[in-house]
């Protein structure tokens, strides 16, 4: 009988210190997340120095918890998967150094994982039937990518943002209407009380690249609208602003994703990343997929935002494909999807 493969996964690319134990890429035995959000909230966004320091304080404890909740020890672990990019360099380094130390001390193979590959792989955990090829829309705080997942570990980016990422736009607009950090979940919640048709915000299209995105114009339009109201002494209905902005973002995301599945002939579409937990986006994408006879995949919200289970899922497929990293593995803050670490 084939032996089970147990991966200890570590994620520290931004403001969550996370560790997980994942069996055969799809079964999560533990998924521990220590969030720093309350700390960064005070500053209105992630402060890189503070993030690195907090990761150092938390990482051992988070790993110990992940092992103990999974009822395993390091002796049972077949490989260590760790996010090595993209992300904040100081934050990434904490996870990478920790993974290398355990790998060296316990002679456990090391597998570096691309953070976005992790987000995409989150879809495998709860959808045991999902296998490449499929299209995936990755919408996070740092990325907005439309990706063709050709095979495990093999990706083709067909569209990406020219300026702000979708999550970044949510965070900036939330700040402008006084909701605080992180903005995405707050806009999601407030929008339920608002009218999405109240204000017509622009839906940007990039002329020569139909799959690319642009959100900075939309963000400016929201800021101009708010300033205009203030100057004219008009009342601002925050819920209407939030709902109208959210609709402008989701309409474009759905449109582009549907265009991609049609043109590339896919009958499967997945979404991934923090913004993929947005309830309006999930509803609109579900509806569009049903209309177009496309099967829609999305992770649970806890697996959409940063976590280590998704890194464990991605690491498993890299591991069984023979990917191994040496102790020269370094953090690569601007790592491109599909790129391999060459030392």
For Zn ion, the closer CB: 34 or 103:
34
CA dist 304 and 138 (Å) reads 10
For ligand KG4, the closer CB: 77 or 332:
332
Residue 250 interacts with, from ligand KG4, Zn ion, none (CB under 5-8 Å by kind): none
Residue 134 interacts with, from Zn ion, ligand KG4, none (CB under 5-8 Å by kind): none
Q: How far is the CB of 100 from ligand KG4 (least distance, A)?
A: 22
Q: How far is the CB of 303 from ligand KG4 (least distance, A)?
A: 10
- Angle at CA of residue 178, ends 177 and 180, nearest 5°: 120
Q: How far is the CB of 131 from ligand KG4 (least distance, A)?
A: 23
CA dist 202 and 232 (Å) reads 21
113-142 positions binding Zn ion, by CB under 5 A: 140
Q: How far is the CB of 281 from Zn ion (least distance, A)?
A: 16
- Angle at CA of residue 267, ends 264 and 270, nearest 5°: 95
Contact 8, 19 (CB under 8 A): yes
Site for Zn ion contains 15 (CB under 5 A): no
Q: How far is the CB of 11 from ligand KG4 (least distance, A)?
A: 10
Residue 184 interacts with, from Zn ion, ligand KG4, none (CB under 5-8 Å by kind): ligand KG4
In angstroms and rounded to an integer, the radius of gyration of the C-alpha atoms of the chain is: 20
For 44, phi then psi, to 5°, come to 80, 10
Residue 77 DSSP symbol:
-
- Residue numbers of the site for ligand KG4 (CB under 6 A)? 14, 140-142, 167, 170-171, 182-185, 188, 273-275, 277-278, 305-306
For Zn ion, the closer CB: 16 or 98:
16
Q: How far is the CB of 283 from ligand KG4 (least distance, A)?
A: 12
Q: How far is CA 40 from CA 32, 35, 49, 133, 231, in A?
A: 19, 10, 11, 38, 32
For ligand KG4, the closer CB: 36 or 277:
277
Distance between alpha carbon 223 and the CA centroid of its chain, in Å? 26
Residue 278 interacts with, from ligand KG4, Zn ion, none (CB under 5-8 Å by kind): ligand KG4
Among 59, 306, 311, 318, binds Zn ion (CB under 5 A): 306
Q: Could you give the strand order of the β-sheet that contains 6-11, starting from the edge strand earlier in sequence?
A: 27-35, 16-23, 6-11, 79-85, 110-114
For Zn ion, the closer CB: 117 or 306:
306
Q: Which of helix, strand or coil describes residue 320?
A: helix
Q: How far is CA 61 from CA 6, 20, 66, 67, 297, in A?
A: 19, 12, 9, 10, 33
Q: Which of helix, strand or coil describes residue 299?
A: coil
For ligand KG4, the closer CB: 103 or 280:
280
Q: How far is the CB of 72 from ligand KG4 (least distance, A)?
A: 26
Beta bridge partners of 149: 134, 155
Q: How far is the CB of 300 from Zn ion (least distance, A)?
A: 15
Site for Zn ion contains 16 (CB under 5 A): no
For ligand KG4, the closer CB: 7 or 310:
310
For Zn ion, the closer CB: 12 or 140:
140
* Binding interface with Zn ion (CB under 5 A): 140, 306
């Amino acid at each position: 009988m084939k032996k089970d493969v147990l991966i200890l996964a570590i994620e520290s690319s931004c403001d969550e210190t996370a560790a997980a134990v994942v069996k055969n890429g799809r079964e999560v035995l533990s998924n521990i997340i220590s969030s720093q959000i309350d700390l960064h909230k005070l500053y209105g966004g992630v402060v890189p120095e503070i993030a690195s320091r907090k990761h150092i304080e938390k990482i051992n404890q988070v790993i110990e918890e992940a092992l103990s909740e999974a009822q395993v020890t390091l002796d049972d672990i077949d490989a260590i998967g760790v996010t090595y990019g993209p992300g904040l360099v100081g934050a990434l380094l904490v996870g990478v150094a920790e993974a290398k130390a355990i790998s060296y001390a316990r002679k456990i193979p090391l597998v570096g994982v691309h953070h976005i590959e992790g987000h995409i792989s989150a879809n495998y955990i709860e959808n045991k039937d999902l296998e490449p090829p499929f299209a995936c829309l990755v919408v996070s705080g740092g990325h907005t990518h439309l990706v063709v997942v050709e095979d495990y570990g093999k990706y083709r980016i067909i569209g990406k943002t020219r300026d702000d990422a979708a999550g970044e736009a949510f965070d900036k607009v939330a700040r402008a209407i006084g909701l605080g950090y992180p903005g995405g979940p707050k806009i999601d919640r407030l929008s339920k009380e608002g009218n999405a048709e109240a204000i017509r915000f622009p839906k940007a299209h990039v002329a020569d690249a139909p799959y690319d995105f642009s959100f900075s114009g939309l963000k400016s339009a929201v800021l101009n609208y708010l300033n205009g109201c203030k100057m004219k002494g008009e009342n601002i209905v925050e819920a209407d602003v939030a709902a109208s902005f959210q609709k402008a973002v989701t309409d474009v995301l759905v449109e582009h994703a549907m265009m991609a599945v049609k043109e590339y002939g896919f009958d499967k579409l997945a979404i991934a990343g923090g913004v993929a937990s947005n309830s309006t986006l999930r509803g609109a994408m579900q509806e569009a997929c049903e209309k177009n006879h496309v099967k829609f995949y999305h992770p649970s919200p806890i697996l959409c935002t940063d976590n280590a289970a998704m890194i464990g899922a991605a690491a498993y497929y890299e591991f069984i494909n023979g990917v191994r990293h040496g102790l020269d593995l370094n953090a690569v803050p601007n790592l491109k999807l599909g790129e391999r670490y060459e030392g």
